[in-house]
Structure 1
Amino acid sequence: MSDNATTVIDPTPLTNADRCDRCGAAAKVRATLNGGGTLLFCRHHFNDHEARLAEMGAVLSE
């Protein structure tokens, strides 16, 4: 993950029920945005959006 993003261990880990907001695959990363809101990404879509999430200062958890 990028050095600009903050990665934390979330007290509520992702489960098999958590799905990617883009495609519905199993979620592997939760991105919490500074302005509020949370996005879930599969590994593929996280890789596509990682740079922008880092620019935005999203807090990431796996």
Structure 2
Amino acid sequence: MTTTTVTSPQLTTLDRCDRCGAQAYVRVVLESSGGELLFCGHHARAVESTLKPLASEWYDETSRLHDKDPLPVD
């Protein structure tokens, strides 16, 4: 038996917020459609209470805002 685990790739500087175009730090996958939304930290907090119950995945990298390591670029 083979088990495959799918993980979301790390967000890069090329990933942009769907609301304002700033760098995205949160990826949301909607349970109903499988659609993906990207948000900056500010807009993720603004929609969290509405979208989190509808999400199958809430991938939050806002902790990287305080990291001193450079962000990956694809």
Verify same fold: TM over 0.5: yes
RMSD: 1.3
What is the TM-score normalised by the length of structure 2? 0.65
Q: Is 1:21 the equivalent of 2:13? A: no
Counterpart of 1:13 in structure 2: which amino acid? Answer: Q
- Structure 2: tracts of 5 or more residues without a match: 1-6, 61-74
* Higher RCO structure, 1 or 2 (CA under 8 Å, sep 6+): 1
1:40 to 16, 29, 38: 38
Q: Which one has the bigger helix percentage?
A: 2
Q: Size of the alignment, in residue pairs?
A: 53
The percentage of counterpart residues that share the same residue type is 45
How far residue 54 of structure 1 moved from its aligned partner, in angstroms, is: 1.8
What is the TM-score normalised by the length of structure 1? 0.76
Runs ≥4 residues deviating over 6 A: none
The structure having more radius of gyration, on CA atoms, is: 2
